[in-house]
Each structure stands twice: as structure tokens, then as C-alpha cells.
Amino acid sequence: MKKLYASFLFLVITISLYAQQDPLYSQYMLNPLVINPAYAGLNNNFNAMVGYRTQWTGLEGHPQTFNASAHTSLVDNKVGAGILVTNDKIGNMSSTEASATFAYKLNFSESAFSFGMQAGVQNFRTDYSGLNILDDGDNAFTGGERGTRINMGVGAVLKSEKYFIGFSVPRLLPTTFKNGGQEFDLYNQHFYLMGSYVYYLNESIRFKPSVLLRGVKGAPASVDVAFNVNFNAMHTVGIFTRNLNTYGILLQTLLAEKYRFGYAFEIPTSKSVGTQFSTHEITLGVLLSLFDFHERTYSN
């Protein structure tokens, strides 16, 4: 009986969380494309990245997210195009999304403004086979739910050598699904406002604080604050917090001027799920200059 109630409670919680949350990322400044389509081609070169996040490791049914992306600048660095694939799994629910991104950039004397859009399909499914259901005939737990939805998003970025400001709504269309005569909110719009500023301490060391504000209907706003130090424009170490109830460290490096590696480690406090459930996030990427108009140096 205890296992039954635990399974049912976890199902209810995951439905609620899923309706309220996009996948979380700690390294959003390393690859802003995961939350803002306007980043496509913004750095005037070709970027490809894969990432994996396992959140609250050790907790049964903990969130796991995989993402892969590639984007490049085109037309003398005036246009950006890319693709983004994401798989997010929480408990008995999983969602896979594939999107194409497009951005147009206006270059000014000391900054650039980019407006982007994305469009794609999202496949959602639930699997109740692993749950211990008291009433096997309950229609709400019969089989599982599967569906495919079309979605689109927008974003904008203003960027210079010293600052980065971005606003985005990656998925504009709210989504619901019906099962067992009940209707659930699968997804509500998420709004992102992110920014960072670079302080040049000397020729080799830069201090880069950043903030990410995340808002969604029916849930409290979320705030990520990070403080990073970059050495020789290649290696970064930082600390961050999310809502003052999760704390973490971040490490990033650029090897051979084209291979990127990032790692983030998080520990939630007792205000969240407890310090025994840590989070790990790894990203791997490559930076290339494919066209004559591409830049040969890396900036973010």
C-alpha cells in the first residue's frame, strides 16, 4: 500500500512539474540556443554541441535531459540557421522535440542585434507499466498517452564585447492532452530573460556575472545567478545559485581553439529535495570556421 501511494503521489507531482517546467540548464551561457533561437549564427561561425543533464541523481524517476544542436552563420554573417533536438524524461513521462531555428542579425558599430524564430514538432508519451496501480481498470492509467504537437518560438538578443541581453519564448503554443476522461496541461508558455556583463580585470582575466529569469504561468519565477571568471578567453570557472535553494560550480574550457567542454555540479539544499541528490551536467562541442566570412576566434 505504501508503494502504491508513493507511486501515485510521484505521478501527480511529475504531471504538475512537467506542465510547469522546461528542461533546466546550468550552462545556458555556453549554448544559449537551447532557450533562445536568436543565438543561431550569432558568433559568426559554426557551432555544434551535445549535452546531458542528470538532475537529483539517486532519486527514483529523476529528470534527465539530452540535447544536441548545430548552428552556423550564413550570408556574410547576416543570417543564422540551425537545428535543436531535445529529449527530456521525468519519471514515467518523456518528451522529444526537434526544431529548426532561423535568425537575422543587424550589425552596429559596437554591437549586434539578432531576432530569431524556431519551429518544430514535439512528441510526448507516458508509460504506466512501471507503476503499481490499485485499480487495474482505472481508465486514467490505461495504456499510456502518446501525442505529437507542432510548436514554434521566438527570441531576440543584443550582444557586444561587454554585454549579452536576451529575451525568448521558446514554445509559444500551450499544450493539453486528455486521458481517461481527464484533461492535463502538458505545457505552458515559458518566458526567459537573460543577461551578462564582462569586466576586464586585466588582459588575461575577465569577470562575468550573469542572470537568468524564468517565468511561467501558475508557478513562482525562477532566478539563476552566476559569477564566472575567464582566463585567456579559454578557461572558465564559476559558481551559481538557483533561487537560493540550489548551489553549484561550473567549469568550461576551450581546447585547440575549437573543442569545447563544460561541466556543472549542483547540490540542492533542504529547501529543495535535499543535499543527498546531486545534479551533473556535461556539454561537449566543436567550433569551426567553414566559410571565408566566418571569424577565427571564439567569443560568448
CB within 8 A of 158, min separation 6: which ones? 111, 112, 113, 164, 165, 166
Domain boundaries, the chain: 2-288
Report the pLDDT value the prediction gives residue 7, as an integer from 0 to 100: 43
**Model confidence at 218, in pLDDT bands (50, 70, 90)?**
confident
**194 touches 164 (CB < 8 A):** yes
39-64: pLDDT as tens digits:
999 999 999 999 999 999 988 889 99
**12 touches 50 (CB < 8 A):** no
Report the pLDDT value the prediction gives residue 10, as an integer from 0 to 100: 44
- pTM confidence score: 0.86
**Model confidence at 13, in pLDDT bands (50, 70, 90)?**
very low
Which residue type, as a one-letter code, is found at position 6? A
Residue of 70, 36, 38, 37 lying closest to 51 (CA atoms): 70
DSSP state for residue 278 in the 8-state scheme? -
For 76-231, strand residue ranges (E) read 79-90, 93-107, 111-126, 146-160, 163-169, 175-179, 182-187, 190-197, 199-200, 205-216, 219-231
Residue of 155, 123, 124 lying closest to 33 (CA atoms): 155
Report the pLDDT value the prediction gives residue 20, as an integer from 0 to 100: 44
- Rounded CA-CA distance 215/243 in Å is 12
The number of beta carbons lying within 10 Å of the beta carbon of residue 107 is 13
pLDDT greater than 90 at residue 194: yes
pLDDT greater than 80 at residue 300: no
Domain 2-288: CATH superfamily is monomeric porin ompg (2.40.160.40)
157-177: pLDDT as tens digits:
999 999 999 999 998 887 776
Residue of 101, 92, 96, 95 lying closest to 70 (CA atoms): 101
